[in-house]
Amino acid sequence: MFALVDANSFYASCERVFRPDLADRPIVVLSNNDGCVIARSKLAKELGIEMGAPYFKIREELERNHVAVFSSNYTLYDDMSRRMQSVLRPYCDDLEVYSIDESFLFWSMDLPWQALGEELREKVKRWTGLPVGVGFGPSKTIAKLANHYAKRGKGATGVHVLADAAAITSALQGVELMNIWGISSGFTKRLLKMGIKTPLELREANPFIVRRELGVVGQRLVFELRGEACIPLETERPDKQNICCSRSFGQVTNDLDLLREAVCTFVSQAAVKLRRQDLISERLAIFVQTDRHANVQQYGASWEKRFPPTNDTRELAGHAAECLLRIHRPEHRFKKAGVLLMDLCKREKAQPRLFEDRDLEAANRLMTLMDEINQVHGRGTLRIASASSMALNAGRTWHLRSDHRSPRYTTRWDELPVAIAKCVLD
């Protein structure tokens, strides 16, 4: 049996964990630069606030309805996600972190699924403060469907079990094709051309005909809906093919020094991700872009460079700065920049140059030590001189605008939550 554990309105729920005063207030979370709505609590959805709505257009509506507004706080969300996963891991040997708020679990034995689901919900809520829904099914697709009913079905209790054929058939009768995991609008149109209009019709379709029209993905979906597990758990994430780090700036700028600082900061963050997987890169690209929404002459450019394999932040920052000089134009004011690391492979498999004069092991030890110190004492504690410390970013025009960001309660000593007790004397 598979289970899908999914946090309810994850970003909004993370904000509410440390703000119990928001229990009865609607909550929205904004995207980078406080651009648009990317998460809504249940109460916010009931107000009709749409996903993706630009903040500047609905600001008055949010104030009128006393909606709590937060800038995205990915440091907090990522840590809360890891805490939720740590609660789930002891329950089974096979766990796949599907996304920041979803995890698949698998058991090869028969268990009291309803009771197990209720225990999972209660423990995650008690240990992290996050509300979750739990759906059980004999395949990942059916578990995903069960989770849908656990959270949105009639009389939903937060746990739903689809263990037998009759229950699965009844569940498939109550949803549209678009409600099935893996079926997009384009996929739906192709199914309709085949005369398949409902999930039940897809389940009963000839899998070989479906494969001829829709490929192996479509055939696999047919078997998944029949309760035959065809999509295995990915307990280990595959290595990345490339790593990108980019940001829109809080303010436009044409200052080369500030742009170099931004780009080197992005390179530093990308290099940390590179080393976490023990990878190296042999090619780097830098891109810049003016504000596409401003009434100005538009300019966007990129430049890439190939170099000996490395994951050393110092070397990567030097290559990035060189690429930036190639595309910077002082007459333009830039709104966005980014870095892309490419041609990745495992460090031990890297092909050394014939006349290599770098001490690669010494560089690797230095970078490892730098990462360890930053993990213990906070990101940016140790940094290359050309990159800005995250703590100093407040005065940088290129820094993301986040006027409503909550504290990073769980990862920063200086932002720990504070409890105040009042003593009332008779």
Domains of the chain: 2-128 (3.40.1170.60), 164-225 (1.10.150.20), 243-395 (3.30.1490.100)
pLDDT of residue 185: 86
pLDDT above 70: residue 311: yes
Work out the burial of residue 45: count CB atoms within 10 Å of its CB; fewer than 13 is exposed, 13-18 middle, 19 or more buried: middle
pLDDT of residue 249: 85
- Among 9-23, 205-219, 228-242, the range scoring the smallest mean pLDDT is 228-242
The owner of tokens 């892309």 is: 340
Find, among 421, 414, 415, 400, the residue nearest to 71 by Cα. 400
Average pLDDT (241-253) is 86
State percent of the chain over pLDDT 70. 95
Give the distance from CA 212 to its chain's centroid.
Answer: 34
CA distance to 322, 406, 414, 421, per residue, from 418 (Å): 46, 13, 11, 10
Say which residue, 349 or 257, is predicted with more confidence.
257
**399 band by pLDDT with thresholds 50, 70 and 90:** low
pLDDT above 60: residue 159: yes
d(CA 29, CA 192): 36
- Among 78-87, 146-155, 222-231, 349-358, the range scoring the smallest mean pLDDT is 349-358
d(CA 73, CA 405): 6
Say which residue, 352 or 103, is predicted with more confidence.
103
pLDDT in tens, 363-394: 888 999 999 988 887 777 888 888 864 434 44
Residue 97: Cβ within 10 Å count: 18
pLDDT of residue 63: 93
pLDDT of residue 171: 92
Find, among 83, 81, 87, 85, the residue nearest to 100 by Cα. 81
pLDDT of residue 390: 43
Residue 165 makes CB contacts below 8 A (sequence gap 6+) with 227
Find, among 30, 48, 50, 27, the residue nearest to 38 by Cα. 30
Find, among 127, 190, 198, 138, the residue nearest to 162 by Cα. 138
State percent of the chain over pLDDT 90. 58
For residue 320, the one-letter residue type is A
pLDDT of residue 392: 45
What residue ranges in 177-278 does DSSP mark as E strands?
A: 243-253
d(CA 8, CA 128): 13
What residue ranges in 328-417 does DSSP mark as E strands?
A: 334-346
pLDDT of residue 411: 85
- Among 176-185, 315-324, 356-365, 402-411, the range scoring the smallest mean pLDDT is 356-365
Query: Which element (helix H / strand E) includes 280?
Result: strand 279-290
pLDDT of residue 379: 75
First-to-final CA distance of the chain: 58
d(CA 309, CA 283): 8
Computed over every residue of the chain, the mean pLDDT equals 89
DSSP β-ladder status, 2-7 and 102-106: antiparallel
d(CA 61, CA 49): 9
pLDDT in tens, 55-66: 989 999 999 999
Average pLDDT (18-38) is 90
Q: Between the CA atoms of 7, 11, 17 and 20, what dihedral angle is there, to the nearest 10 degrees?
A: -120
**305 band by pLDDT with thresholds 50, 70 and 90:** very high
- DSSP, res 101: T
pLDDT above 60: residue 194: yes
pLDDT of residue 281: 92
pLDDT of residue 412: 82
Backbone angles phi, psi at 219, to 5 degrees: -65, -40
For residue 44, the one-letter residue type is A
Find, among 364, 301, 312, the residue nearest to 341 by Cα. 312
pLDDT of residue 355: 66
Average pLDDT (89-115) is 93
Ordered strands of the 243-253 beta sheet: 243-253, 334-346, 279-290, 300-310
pLDDT of residue 152: 85
